[in-house]
């Protein structure tokens, strides 16, 4: 039987446009699968909208801050509404790239050397950069869709690139540039779905290349079977290190020196016609509606691990205090 599905789209952040495209594509796919679908445009008052929508499950078509970072996931937990994608903690960790890198290193997973710097620390930028060298990659610490990303080739351009990236959340990650093939690995249901290599006319898979054309895709990547198996194993290990679930993508660089490094984990990757996960699924013979259906079947909530409360939440007025003596 079809479910009453709320597709959450839009949101507060700079990735709203991409979220709306993802949302509309998902709506069409789920309706084709026989579900009753409601568009839920996320914004202030989202809790009230969700309480009145009478949904069975939430399909998250949100991207970036206030959608992919654990905040909406926490709201859905409180509303006891199953949702697609990773849980609260994994979403927050994956979205915060500096914290994710710490966990990668804790699990002995290679990742480019780098440092975090906040807007209030810009005066110490040159000291913090030290001998990291150039070229380097500058990106918002919490963001996606390559918004605010810059490849910096000389010291004179570093400060302006960091200041620009600070516009998206106030914290920035600066990483040593890893030269090589960019490969993304799709994961569905805790297993590797497949991989795609992205090639583009200029260095840096930025917003323009990602959504306005110019990129080329190779499915499978132009790697030997043995090396590709190692890359996919590395991607799955990164996914597991953050405690992710449901579906997602892991971005890596397969360098010219045969050193493969993890860049980041995307817990709510795009599902637009230009998006990478649908391309990977199609390579496996999975249509877009079938992919959305499989993602929907994986929707769940975090296990609270505590005894159920004996009663629902209520409001009780405070007793009046006597006035005077």
Average pLDDT of span 228-240: 97
Measured CA to CA, the distance from residue 118 to residue 262 in angstroms comes to 23
pLDDT at 97 over 60: yes
Q: Which of 19, 96, 266, 275 is catalytic?
A: 266
Q: Is 259 a catalytic residue?
A: no
Average pLDDT of span 200-218: 66
Q: Is 15 a catalytic residue?
A: yes
Measured CA to CA, the distance from residue 151 to residue 251 in angstroms comes to 17
Q: Is 68 a catalytic residue?
A: no
Q: Which of 69, 232, 251, 260 is catalytic?
A: 251
Q: Which of 211, 245, 246, 248 is catalytic?
A: 211
pLDDT at 205 over 50: no
Q: Which of 19, 86, 91, 145 is catalytic?
A: 145
DSSP string, 12-59: SSTTHHHHHHHHHHHHHHHHHTT-EEEEEEESTTHHHHHHHS--SEEE
pLDDT of res. 251 = 97
Q: Which of 65, 247, 264, 275 is catalytic?
A: 264
Q: Is 258 a catalytic residue?
A: no
CB 140 within 8 A of CB 165: yes
Identify the band that residue 311 occupies on the pLDDT scale cut at 50, 70 and 90.
low
Q: Is 321 a catalytic residue?
A: no
pLDDT in tens, 135-173: 999 999 887 657 789 999 999 999 999 999 998 888 999
CB 84 within 8 A of CB 73: no
Average pLDDT of span 206-232: 82
Q: Is 266 a catalytic residue?
A: yes
Q: Which of 10, 14, 15, 275 is catalytic?
A: 15
Average pLDDT of span 89-95: 96
């Amino acid at each position: 039987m079809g479910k009453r599905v709320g597709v959450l789209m839009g949101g507060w952040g700079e990735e709203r446009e991409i979220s709306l495209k993802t949302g509309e594509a998902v709506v069409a796919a789920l309706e084709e699968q026989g579900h009753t679908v409601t568009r839920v445009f996320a914004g202030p008052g989202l809790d009230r909208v969700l309480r009145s929508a009478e949904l069975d499950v939430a399909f998250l078509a949100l991207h970036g801050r206030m959608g992919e970072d654990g905040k909406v996931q926490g709201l859905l937990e409180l509303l006891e509404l199953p949702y697609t994608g990773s849980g609260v903690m994994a979403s927050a960790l994956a979205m915060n790239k500096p914290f994710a890198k710490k966990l990668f290193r804790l699990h002995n997973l290679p990742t480019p050397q780098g440092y975090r710097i906040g807007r209030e620390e810009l005066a110490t930028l040159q000291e913090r950069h030290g001998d990291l060298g150039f070229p380097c990659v500058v990106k918002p610490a919490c963001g996606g869709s390559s918004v605010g990303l810059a490849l910096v080739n000389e010291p004179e351009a570093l400060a302006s690139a960091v200041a620009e990236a600070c516009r998206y959340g106030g914290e920035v990650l600066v990483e040593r540039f890893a030269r090589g093939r960019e490969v993304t690995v799709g994961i569905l249901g805790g297993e590797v779905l497949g991989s795609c290599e992205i090639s583009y006319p200029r260095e840096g898979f930025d917003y323009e290349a990602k959504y306005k054309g110019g990129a080329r895709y190779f499915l499978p990547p132009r790697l030997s079977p043995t090396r590709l198996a190692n890359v996919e194993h590395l991607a799955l290990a990164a996914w597991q290190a953050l405690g992710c679930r449901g579906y997602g993508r892991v971005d890596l660089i397969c360098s010219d020196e045969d050193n493969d490094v993890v860049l980041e984990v995307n817990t709510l990757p795009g599902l637009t016609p230009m998006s990478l996960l649908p391309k990977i699924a199609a390579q496996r013979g999975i249509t877009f509606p079938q992919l959305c259906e499989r993602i929907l079947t994986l929707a769940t909530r975090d296990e609270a691990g505590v005894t159920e409360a004996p009663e629902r939440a209520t409001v009780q007025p405070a007793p009046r205090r006597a006035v005077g003596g």
